[in-house]
């Protein structure tokens, strides 16, 4: 066991390890507002001296990165805090588990290798997702700043990352509120029996059903024609749909009320918006396991396609979903953590959030697969019955021999008796009958069910008919979706509000006014997504736009900490703050694994956008079906423009910092001076600094 003392000297080669590379420059500034010092995480500790014993030699080497000659700055503010640890965890967990976890994960799992997708997701979650999550949580809770302020502290050269995160958060908030609006409207419509999407509507002044509905299913028709009033193309405009605009207004009113009093109101709302969905999910999951055919659905979930493990496309889709569903890079984790005490154990929090995300994703998938297994079983029996009637008619008309007549007992248990009857037929009889029969294989029926509609919300409207008392279950399921969406939206808004309050500290005294000033413009901006063609814009942003800026932001966040500030130094900061050793594996994950994976995802996403046509799923009213169309040229230009605009603050702020450094006038008028310091190897040993610990940590170590 290695002892750390104030008089121990550090070997020359170890003194160079505060970064992942000796040649990487250290960038520091004397600006008090940015507080960019190497003692970011030690400013909190008291001036009492104490000696720590570390059980790992690498942790001892890690501590050598703190140079006592660098100034120590205490970050003081009058920042509010979460009322308790429970509210803090609810905020983090509620934000990280959103609608995409429930909607996308099951279908991505089915179309990307089943169990193979789960294996890839778990690997990426713990080797890339958790380290990045820990990075954002630790930075936020120690520096007590939102996304805009935090990354300026790590390095003023990449200070624009915070502004890009803010813009991503803002744009995602615009269309994410519309996802909640759709579910809220379905919830309102669920308070009637029969459900309005159970049957096709009648034509006006006629007893005939609407032919556009009869050509498809009532649920799909209700979604496109009643809820969205969708146009056949994205080019066709129109005013915002009135009932969706009204629901959107209610959604933003709920969001505004939930955050208008700051952490006090947000914390109380989280008890409902986070806990209630999990109670409902447990209930519907338990009920789904009791359905006929649920076991087949669960077996299909766990079926593994080995080839998917070697597919770069599957890894790309998994990575896209992981970061979009968890919410890393948006700045919300940093904002939420900035209201936590600096001594909070962020490592345990990161693992708790990641595990909850995984458990929720798997549970939601099991629920969906159990339901789809049940529907596939019902369709399988209907198919057997249809084949039996076909054989009966062919025997009656004399097309087939009377020896092929089905026994009456066959109709009692079709799922068992029909396959037995067909399997016992002679080979010649099978070849004679087969051309007239449909393929009733249960696996094929399951594939047809899992294809479903192109929009996930429509699949959930189908699911409610699997239970008796569909009205009750529709209310339950859409309460679940609305509250889960709200908990994520509260996290998104926290990322926006916190960044504004940190940039304009005086606004903290007027929280209500600031909240209303943000919510009203965002509501007005969201109206574009409730136009008849609005759903096509939502799909374009969610499927095509969000990934590229997000990966770019995460790459710079990771590199600024690991290669500019120094992963070893950052780890040393955490050790001092938490008061116990931390596995050095995080340093290697931050330095090598995370940047490599993120870079691969970023490049593969660009290649995918370039090689594959950018398409969207549109409703064709003439054939009552979903068709795939290519986005028009102006939509592609809009997509590229949005990507550029969200990334633009990063190079812009770099140039701004460069001007301050390059021109003496800028230096003179600026309160910050940015300095490059290369860590050249020196012959003179560097004395080890004293480690300051808090009073509670001193007592803890005396008891060792």
- For residue 429, give both structure tokens: 């009889």
- For residue 376, give both structure tokens: 């596939």
Between CA 365 and CA 374 the distance in angstroms is 14
Contact 492, 206 (CB under 8 A): no
Burial-class residue 248 by CB neighbours within 10 Å (0-12, 13-18, 19+): buried
Provide the 10 A C-beta neighbour count for residue 269: 23
Alpha-carbon distances, residue 303 vs 288, 404, 452 (angstroms)? 19, 37, 20
Contact 148, 162 (CB under 8 A): yes
Between CA 220 and CA 124 the distance in angstroms is 35
Burial-class residue 66 by CB neighbours within 10 Å (0-12, 13-18, 19+): buried
Q: Residues annotated in the binding site for Na(+), as ranges?
A: 94, 97, 325, 357
Between CA 223 and CA 368 the distance in angstroms is 20
Q: Residues annotated in the binding site, as ranges?
A: 94, 97, 325, 357
Contact 354, 126 (CB under 8 A): yes
| Local structure of residue 2 (DSSP, 8 states) | E
Contact 673, 667 (CB under 8 A): yes
Which of 6, 62, 48 has the alpha carbon at shortest distance from 699? Answer: 48
Chain centre to alpha carbon of residue 498: 20
Alpha-carbon distances, residue 239 vs 221, 315, 528 (angstroms)? 21, 40, 9
**Non-local CB neighbours of 699 within 8 Å, separated by 6+ positions:** none
């Amino acid at each position: 066991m290695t002892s750390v003392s104030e008089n121990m000297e550090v070997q020359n080669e170890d003194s160079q390890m505060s970064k992942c590379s000796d040649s990487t420059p250290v960038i520091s500034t004397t600006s008090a507002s940015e507080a960019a010092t190497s003692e970011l995480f030690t400013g909190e500790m008291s001036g009492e001296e104490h000696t720590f014993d570390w059980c790992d030699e690498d942790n001892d080497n890690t501590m050598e990165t703190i140079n006592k000659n660098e100034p120590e700055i205490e970050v003081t503010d009058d920042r509010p805090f979460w009322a308790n640890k429970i509210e803090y965890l609810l905020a983090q967990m509620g934000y990280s588990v959103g609608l995409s976890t429930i909607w996308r994960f099951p279908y991505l799992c089915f179309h990307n290798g089943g169990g193979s997708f789960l294996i890839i997701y778990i690997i990426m979650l713990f080797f890339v997702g958790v380290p990045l999550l820990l990075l954002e949580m630790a930075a936020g809770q120690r520096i007590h700043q939102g996304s805009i302020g935090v990354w300026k502290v790590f390095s003023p050269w990449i200070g624009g990352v915070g502004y890009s995160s803010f813009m991503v958060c803002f744009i995602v908030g615009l269309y994410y509120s519309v996802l909640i609006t759709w579910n809220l409207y379905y919830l309102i419509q669920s308070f009637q029996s029969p459900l309005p999407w159970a049957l096709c509507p009648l034509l006006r002044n006629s007893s005939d059903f609407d032919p556009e509905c009869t050509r498809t299913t009532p649920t799909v028709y209700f979604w496109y024609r009643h809820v969205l009033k969708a146009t056949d193309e994205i080019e066709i405009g129109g005013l915002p749909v009135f009932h969706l605009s009204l629901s959107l207004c209610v959604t933003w009113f709920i969001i505004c009320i939930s955050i208008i009093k700051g952490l006090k109101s947000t914390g109380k709302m989280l008890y409902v918006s986070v806990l209630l969905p999990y109670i409902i999910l447990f209930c519907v999951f338990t009920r789904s396991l009791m359905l006929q055919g649920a076991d087949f659905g669960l077996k299909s979930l766990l079926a593994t396609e080995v080839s998917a493990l070697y597919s770069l496309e599957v890894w790309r889709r998994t990575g896209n979903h992981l970061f979009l569903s968890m919410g890393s890079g948006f700045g919300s984790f940093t904002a939420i953590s900035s209201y936590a005490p600096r001594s909070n154990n962020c490592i345990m929090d990161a693992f708790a959030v990641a595990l909850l995300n995984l458990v929720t994703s798997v549970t939601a998938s099991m629920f969906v697969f159990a339901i789809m297994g049940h529907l596939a079983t019902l369709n399988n029996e209907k198919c057997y019955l249809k084949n039996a009637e076909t054989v009966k008619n062919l025997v009656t008309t004399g097309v087939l021999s009377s020896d092929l007549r089905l026994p009456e007992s066959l109709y009692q248990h079709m799922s068992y008796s029909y396959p037995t009857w067909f399997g016992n037929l002679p080979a010649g009889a099978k070849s004679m009958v087969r051309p007239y029969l449909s393929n009733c294989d249960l696996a094929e029926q399951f594939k047809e069910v899992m294809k479903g509609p192109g929009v996930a919300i429509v699949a959930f409207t189908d699911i409610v008919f699997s239970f008796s008392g569909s009205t009750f279950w529709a209310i339950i399921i859409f309460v679940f979706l609305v509250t889960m969406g709200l908990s994520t939206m509260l996290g998104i808004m926290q990322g926006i509000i916190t960044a504004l309050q940190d940039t304009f500290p005086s606004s903290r005294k007027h929280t209500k006014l600031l909240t209303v000033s943000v919510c009203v413009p965002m509501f007005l901006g969201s109206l574009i997504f409730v136009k008849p063609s609005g759903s096509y814009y939502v799909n374009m942003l969610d499927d095509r736009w969000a990934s590229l800026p997000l990966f770019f932001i995460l790459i710079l966040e990771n590199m600024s900490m690991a290669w500019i500030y120094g992963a070893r130094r950052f780890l040393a900061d955490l050790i001092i703050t938490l008061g116990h050793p931390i596995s050095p594996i995080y340093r290697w994950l931050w330095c090598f694994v995370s940047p490599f994976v993120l870079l691969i995802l970023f490049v593969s996403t660009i290649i995918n956008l370039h090689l594959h046509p950018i398409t969207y799923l549109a409703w064709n009213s003439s054939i009552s079906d979903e068709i795939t169309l290519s986005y028009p040229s102006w939509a592609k230009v809009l997509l590229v423009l949005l990507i550029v605009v969200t990334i633009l603050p990063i190079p812009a702020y770099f140039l701004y910092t460069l001007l301050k450094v390059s021109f003496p006038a800028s230096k003179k008028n600026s309160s910050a001076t940015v300095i490059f310091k290369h860590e050249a190897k020196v012959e003179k040993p560097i004395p080890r600094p004293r480690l300051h610990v808090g009073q509670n940590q001193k007592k803890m170590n005396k008891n060792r």
